[in-house]
Amino acid sequence: MESNIKHNINFLQELVRTNSVTENEGEIQNKIFKQLKLFGLSENEVFLQGDNIVVHIEGKNRSKAVMLIPHVDTVDLGKESDWKFGNALSAEIEDGKLFGRGACDTKAGVFAAVEIAQILHEKSERNEPPECDVYCAFVVGEETKGKGIRQFADWMAQEKVLNQYDDVSVIFLEPTQLEVDYGSRGNRIYEAIADSQNGIPAMENMFYFLINTYNQTTLWSQTQKHAFGSTLMNATNVNSDKEEHRPISVRTIKKKLKIHAKGKNNHVSKTGNISMDQLAMDRVAGFLWETQNLWSSQNPQTSKQILLPVNIETQKTKANQTPDSVCIEFDVVGEINQQILKEIVKKHDLEITEIPVVDNTTEIPTKVTAKIDMRTIPDQHDAAHEAINRIAQNTGVSLVESLGGSPPSFTDPQSSIFESFHYAGMQNDLRNIAVGVFSAASDANVLESLGPLFRRIKKIIFGAGNMEQAHTINEFVDLRQVDKSIDILLSTIEHWGKIPVEIN
């Protein structure tokens, strides 16, 4: 097998042993460039482009191009003493798994691209060029603001690279467990500010803003024909500091309750699907609706709320998740059947505790702020913006959108590049190569945001490794997947290069 990873396993280990946390990619780029030059690539075949390294191997069909794009940077190392082998950059191998920061995200992809560049160069030297032009771009800064992919896009625009081709497929080498992903979620980032208005405390306005937004995403999830699932909203850093947000008001209460919901499987799955009834915030919302309906049925003469939120705490363990822990403190201002309350709590899989009340009063902040990270899907990026602003207006919350968001990426899974991936899977003992949606944002989103020139090209996400391992302590990659990913990519390039150009 041409791409037997055992032939060059030392270089993959060297990549993982090289610290390349974002903004510190110089050393690893030097090693990659040196390795490519050792393979004999000429100045026309490998060159520096800004902070990136670009490889270009000319093919037989000069009207088509495949671009392989791994990022060389990683997130921070974390507490090294918590790592297996006592080192975040050990690159030790155990049971066929290579451990270390960036092993799957995405130094396995970097290694695959280096190997492919070597193989295609050597074939070209034997007058056996690839079926189409092939680029490999080793980019920096993916983990933050996409610095490298922006530089690469600027270069392509300035040099009119895309104008040379009738068909271009860009493959972002991210950990998908060899699944071929045709899209990834976008995001919009906001600061939400709730003030006390018309006698309604700020925290209640913020709470109902969050609940109504979650309810909207549930409705959206029923309309999707692809595997993106629903638009998701991550609410973080809910701040109701009474000292900061004075003056405060005081109200009389009967008791205090704390409701705690822990998320179950609430990350986006490999195929992008999500079980909405398992989300922590949704389970709290269901609890609130049922208790309020119970109160209303027992007291039809009033529509007053019985449970009034006074504090919200949310936690999430990974950036691509909705909150996996929601803890909300309520003031109870009416009587409710305790047995039925317990049944509702059990139904929604919540933990409930009663907080001792000393003087039957509570202090209420007059201002509450929250950071909102809305993860969007195709056809809903702008609709989500309109909806969240409408909900904010209806609930007395003001929104300020921050810079840094990007639209979702999407490529029609019926495109010929997917036909080629399926062919490659069959050639490499994968009878049915999986197709789905990437569970996190990537440089594909950044490229999508850079205008019509880049929106028209196909963007696919594929690679060795499990996204669940990314950014975690004891991150690893299965070396068998690395080996297989190289073979699949080579077969895909060969097959797709022979297919007549698609008319978009």
Distance CA 418, CA 433 (A): 10
pLDDT band at 238 (very low <50, low <70, confident <90, very high): low
Say whether pLDDT at 479 is over 90: yes
pLDDT band at 212 (very low <50, low <70, confident <90, very high): confident
pLDDT for res 308: 76
* Domains with residue ranges and CATH for the chain: 5-183+408-498 (3.40.630.10), 186-401 (no CATH)
pLDDT for res 311: 75
pLDDT for res 205: 83
Per residue in 353-387, pLDDT (tens digit) is 888 777 666 667 778 888 887 888 887 888 888 98
Please indicate whether residue 14 or residue 5 has the higher confidence score (pLDDT).
14
Say whether pLDDT at 350 is over 50: yes
Tally of residues, the chain: 504
Q: What is the mean pLDDT of residues 434-458?
A: 91
Please indicate whether residue 68 or residue 8 has the higher confidence score (pLDDT).
68
Per the prediction, the chain carries an average pLDDT of 84
pLDDT band at 481 (very low <50, low <70, confident <90, very high): very high
Say whether pLDDT at 268 is over 50: no
Query: Both tokens of residue 412?
Result: 């029609």
Q: Which residue has the tokens 């709590």?
A: 345
In this structure, of 141-150, 332-341, 401-410, 482-491, the range with the lowest mean pLDDT score is 332-341
Q: What is the mean pLDDT of residues 262-266?
A: 56
Q: What is the mean pLDDT of residues 270-277?
A: 37
pLDDT for res 172: 98
Say whether pLDDT at 220 is over 80: no
Q: What is the mean pLDDT of residues 35-40?
A: 96
Neighbours of 159 (CB within 10 A): 11
Q: Residue 490 in 3-state DSSP?
A: helix
pLDDT for res 233: 64
Q: How far, CA to CA in Å, does 449 sit from each of 186, 406, 407, 440?
A: 10, 6, 6, 16
In this structure, of 156-165, 273-282, 367-376, 444-453, the range with the lowest mean pLDDT score is 273-282
Per residue in 390-433, pLDDT (tens digit) is 999 988 899 999 876 889 999 999 999 999 999 999 998 887 88
Distance CA 274, CA 294 (A): 29
Q: What percent of the chain has pLDDT over 90?
A: 50
Neighbours of 453 (CB within 10 A): 14
Of 24-28, 204-208, 363-367, the range with the highest mean pLDDT is 24-28
Distance CA 309, CA 203 (A): 6
Q: What is the mean pLDDT of residues 65-78?
A: 96
Work out the end-to-end distance of the chain between its first and last CA atoms, rounded to an integer number of angstroms: 36
pLDDT for res 97: 95
Q: What is the mean pLDDT of residues 274-288?
A: 62
pLDDT for res 275: 40
Q: Model-level pTM? A: 0.79
* Cβ 28 vs Cβ 15: under 8 Å: yes
Please indicate whether residue 352 or residue 118 has the higher confidence score (pLDDT).
118
Distance CA 267, CA 471 (A): 14
Say whether pLDDT at 317 is over 80: no
Say whether pLDDT at 242 is over 60: no
pLDDT band at 276 (very low <50, low <70, confident <90, very high): very low
Say whether pLDDT at 245 is over 60: no
316-326 burial, b if ≥16 CB within 10 A, otherwise e? beeebbbbbbb
Neighbours of 82 (CB within 10 A): 10
Q: What is the mean pLDDT of residues 440-468?
A: 93
Q: What is the mean pLDDT of residues 201-226?
A: 72
Distance CA 492, CA 418 (A): 9
Computed from CA positions of residues 155, 160, 164, 168, in that sequence, does the dihedral angle turn out positive or negative? positive
Per residue in 87-101, pLDDT (tens digit) is 999 999 999 999 999
pLDDT for res 1: 38
pLDDT for res 412: 92
Distance CA 121, CA 130 (A): 9
Distance CA 72, CA 108 (A): 10
Enter the DSSP assignment of 208.
H
Distance CA 341, CA 176 (A): 43
Q: What is the mean pLDDT of residues 48-72?
A: 97
Q: For residue 260, give every residue at least 6 positions away whose Cβ sits within 8 Å of its Cβ, in sequence order, or none.
A: 325, 326, 327, 350, 351, 352, 353
